Chain A
Amino acid sequence: MVIAESVREFNPDLFIAMLVIPEKTEHEEIDCFGPEDLNLPDLRSREFAYPETVLTYALTAAFMRLLLNSGYATSLLFVKQESMVVGDLAPIFDELEEGEILLTPHLLAPLGEGRDRELNILHSGAYNGGVLGVTQGEESTRFLNWWDARLATNCRHKVGAGMHFEQRWLDLVPGLFGSVVISRDPGFNIGHWCLPERPISVEGQRVLADASPARIFRFSGYDPDAPEFPTIHSDRVATAALGDAAIVFERYRSAAKLARSVIEDTASAPVACFTNGVPIPDAARDLYLEVSKQDFGDPFDSEGPESFFEWLKQPVDDGTPAITNLWHHVHQIRTDLRGAFRDHLGSDREAFAAWIVSSGIHEHDIDPALA
């Protein structure tokens, strides 16, 4: 909503399309789409595997592809939720015309003493997934197909394994595809990661970033109810220490609050469940991605011996007491458990089984039906 209204202010002629999950809601000024419009054969798998916010990341490429392929637009700028347009977007589209794919980096200059912050960027990705342009063409088509294929099962936060949701995949793009423009315009994508190094000045409605007109501000991790810091991801710098950027954050806060008061507060998403009503634990989502090559049919469906639900309960080996696939996976992903129960299928089996009953089911919110 905030994005749409801010776009209208500077670019009244642009079409605005929005993907809404879990299902589309109509809006008079925005063209709304829902997941079912994407024609993804594996939509159910993605809905199962990813929590709500991550699902929006995992559908980004498919949504952009739909808009290009359907002829909705020939030139497209993706702007992620938690953003606000603060200037004319035409120059971004102009730069996009130089290629088929436009990337906006987090950092445009070395950080001097900030080696650790550069490492953080290497963790999460050189290019920000919040502002991304594509125009119709062979390279952009190949890019979106490839990106979507990766996001289907690997839109994951596993930085030690080279993944940061949808974003780190973008690092490969300048190598894998032609016609890539790496924009170095300081006004295209401004967020907490480049503040306060990129000086912001506000003159009335005009916002400048490093003396260039600012176009898009990003507010990832900004909580309008806790505005002291620009992001919950770091307490490196307080909002008040950002100079004029603080004014932009305050404008966003007001706009976001206003938008919230207009939209009927939708209740927070219901807890996702299997068809038998058993809540899906996070560990099961994670495990589903690990074994994504196996065909379980609809992963929500708990009926039948071939279901993912049944598979989770199956013992991982013949030993007793039985350790199920689910608990075996919990052991794999927890360093502390691997240390405490080194031989969890052998000599530490009884102890690990006891831990499952005494602590595991609570720590992982596992329903008795899966315990």
Chain B
Amino acid sequence: MTGSSVGARELRGGQVALCTVTANNYLGRACVMARSLVDIHPDLVPFVGITDKGQRPSQLDREPLSVISLEDIGLALNELTFGLRREQLAVVAKPALIAHLLDVGFETVVYLDPDMLVCSKLDSVIEIVSESAVTLTPHLLDETSLESEIAILLSGVYNAGFVGVSSKGRGFVDWWLDRTLVNPENDVENCVYYDQRWLDLAPSMFEGVMVLRDRGVNVAYWNMAERELDRREGNLVAGTAPVKILHFSGFDLRCPEQASVHFGGVSADSLGPEAKRVFKEYAAMVQEVDRQLGSTDEYGYGVFKSGEPIPDVARLIYRELGEEAARFNNPFDDTHPSSFANWLNAPALIDEARVCPAITNLWERVYRLRPDVQAAYPDLTGNDREGFVAWTRSSGLAEHGVGEAFRI
């Protein structure tokens, strides 16, 4: 099995495609997921959409997966690769990859997050996905604490780590991609949580949406308290249900005693002894594959041509410029005078005083992002100029992940 693009081989293998999306940092996890899947379903070699660039590890060719590039799914566009942060690009690539696989002829597509692990046969799940237009898994299948339920109401009833779509659900995928593209952000107060909250509307707005209430699918820290992991005759169960898919969302390999870094940290201990063992084993598996791959946390779209890291706010500004951004040609190239990076360092329009030091386009946008900073320095281009500039140097650079190249 090799890391080739979509070909006849996969299509002959059946009309079902499994897929995931990852940047290089989660490539090891994606390989672990692929291995776990192929161990159980040798015919279901997953497609892995890689939302990153740079040299791919040669070991990847020996992994049981087919690589799909951003070019394959039409997303290799500056407005996306530069305009979005790493996690945002992956979120947008998800519906795009599902659409692509449906369009090349698969009738049933199951998307799994790269940090999932397949533990037993998925036949019943695939059957449901193929019979429905869209299949979603709720985070919660049991009443739990008020706090957990509110957290789920804010982030989305259905977990976007598992999404099944058949050809009947093609319209849903277009809508989901369209809605997600506008603002793939963590902005729960305004009802946006990357791509996830939109799913709350799917069972109403589309025909044939299946709410899959299988306690063995998408077992994760947010529902393990209600379905404790255990072994029965050697097989993993969640409550009484055989575990089919585990989800290690927010799991940091460096601290396997923590099940998730989300919600201020969830200890693996609190989820029971079997869960603790599972988290530890998963960490070891991923670490081993990461070692084989020579994985790195570096993001290919994370730096300018010069190597200077791209601050998040620069991506936001670029996206907000819309069509105007085209005048910069390649925004990653910061080595020429009319580059986007240079424009970020140019005085902002509001700063007409031409007093030194000028408030630059980048820092003017940061200022607008921060009501607290506005309150502290209300007269940005007058009395508070010095104070604000001092703040950018003492706090702003670090708080916004801005490098020295953009120092005022």
Contact = CB atoms under 8 A, between A and B. Distances in A.
Contacts of B158: 175
Contacts of A175: 138-141, 157-158, 211, 213
A171 B157 contact: yes
A162 B211 contact: no
A146 B207 CA distance: 28
Contact of A122 (B139, B201, B213, B375): B201
Interface stretch (B104-112, B145-153, B380-388): B145-153
B205 A174 contact: no
Interface stretch (B28-36, B122-130, B189-197, B284-292): B189-197
Question: Contact size class for B?
Answer: 35 or more
Contacts of A291: none
Nearest to B375: A339
A273 interface: no
B197 A146 contact: no
Contacts of A364: none
B204 A126 contact: yes
Nearest to B137: A175
A176 B141 contact: yes
A169 to B, nearest CB: 8
B140 A172 contact: yes
B154 interface: yes
Nearest to A142: B143
Nearest to A154: B146
A238 interface: no
Interface string A101-140: 0000111111000010011011100110000000000000
Interface in B126-185: 138-143, 146, 149-154, 157-158, 171, 175, 179, 182
A267 to B, nearest CB: 37
Contacts of A123: 191
Interface string A155-181: 000011111000011011011101010
A98 B211 CA distance: 16
A121 B205 CA distance: 12
Nearest to B174: A110
Contacts of B150: 161-163
A180 B143 CA distance: 15
Contact of A172 (B153, B188, B207, B375): B153
B207 A184 contact: yes
A119 B205 contact: no
A251 interface: no
A173 to B, nearest CB: 9
B179 A115 contact: yes
A150 interface: yes
A73 interface: no
A196 B26 CA distance: 46
10 contacts: A106-B204, A107-B205, A122-B197, A122-B198, A126-B203, A161-B150, A162-B151, A172-B152, A175-B138, A339-B375
A176 B143 contact: yes
Nearest to A164: B153
Interface of A: 105-110, 115, 118-119, 121-123, 126-127, 142, 146, 150, 154, 159-163, 168-169, 171-172, 174-176, 178, 180, 182, 184, 339
B200 interface: yes
Given A160-B188, A175-B157, 15 more contacts: A105-B204, A108-B205, A118-B201, A121-B201, A122-B191, A122-B200, A159-B189, A163-B153, A168-B153, A172-B152, A174-B138, A174-B157, A174-B203, A176-B140, A339-B375
Q: Interface centre among A118, A142, A175, by most B CB within 10 Å? A: A175
A115 B153 CA distance: 19
Given A171-B153, A172-B140, A176-B142, A110 B205 contact: yes
A172 B149 contact: yes
Contacts of B154: 161-162
Nearest to A103: B204
A107 B211 contact: no
The 3 closest A-B pairs by CB, nearest first: A175-B138, A105-B204, A162-B153
Interface in B203-250: 203-205, 207, 211, 213
Nearest to B197: A122
B157 A172 contact: yes
Contacts of A115: 179, 182
B146 A150 contact: yes
B374 to A, nearest CB: 10
Contacts of A162: 150-151, 153-154, 188
A126 B138 contact: no
A170 to B, nearest CB: 10
A105 B203 CA distance: 9
A45 B205 CA distance: 38
Contacts of A126: 200-201, 203-204
B204 A184 contact: yes
Nearest to B193: A122
A45 to B, nearest CB: 16
A178 B182 contact: no
A146 B143 contact: yes
Nearest to B190: A119
A118 B190 CA distance: 12
Contact of A160 (B179, B189, B198, B213): B189
A122 B187 CA distance: 13
Given A126-B201, A162-B150, A174 B211 contact: yes
A126 B138 CA distance: 14
Nearest to B141: A175
Contacts of B198: 118, 122
